[in-house]
Structure 1
């Protein structure tokens, strides 16, 4: 399972890397702009990410914007969100507006920080991920 962790907070980034390292390669991006570039490069190399863990509050480009751009990149390749990369929002924001916006942007799951390993694995199972 190839994973892109998009997180500007160093501690949160390390936690997610630690939780996911046993399941395959993990790459990191510190903001949404880096994430979109990394995602685009992986698509171009025909080696897309299986999972993206995406924070919302980040500099350069927030997670909501990055989510929309990532889904647009997939759509350009005729990849629909149901067959594309699984995207889990991993954020401290738990307000209805952000949750609704994320699902409207076609995220697959939403986890509130601090991310708990059991909950993360449960979401991966719900999404049918092979880890």
Structure 2
């Protein structure tokens, strides 16, 4: 599994990297702009990501905007919805509006609150058939 962790907070980034690294290659981006660049680069290299874990609130470009751009790139490349990268949004925000915006309108696959619960995340990845 190829994973892109998009997180501006160092501690959250390290926690996600530690949880996910036993299951495959984990790349890091610190904002939405880097996330879109990494996503496009991976597609160009014919090594697309299987999973993106992305914070909603970030500098440069937030997670919602990055997700919209990633979905637009997939559409421009004629990637079928069933083959789109799985995107799990993470946020410390206890704001249903942001979650609804990212999850339902933005094309996120799922959502996980912070602090990240390792067992919850792994259970979600199993449900998405990304891990055994």
Smaller-chain TM-score range? over 0.9
Match of 1:109 in 2: 110
Match of 1:96 in 2: 96
Match of 2:7 in 1: 7
Q: Would the aligned equivalents of 1:81 and 1:106 in 2 still touch at CA under 8 Å?
A: no
Structure 1, unaligned runs of 5 or more: none
Structure 2, unaligned runs of 5 or more: none
Task: Give 1:93 deviation, angstroms.
Answer: 1.7
TM-score by length of 1: 0.96
Match of 1:129 in 2: 130
Report the count of equivalent residues: 131
CA distance in 1, matches of 2:27, 2:60: 18
Alignment of 1:1-131 (within 5 A): 1-103=1-103, 104-130=105-131
Task: Give 1:94 deviation, angstroms.
Answer: 3.0
CA distance in 1, matches of 2:127, 2:94: 20
TM-score by length of 2: 0.95
Query: Runs of 4+ in structure 1 displaced over 3 angstroms?
Result: none
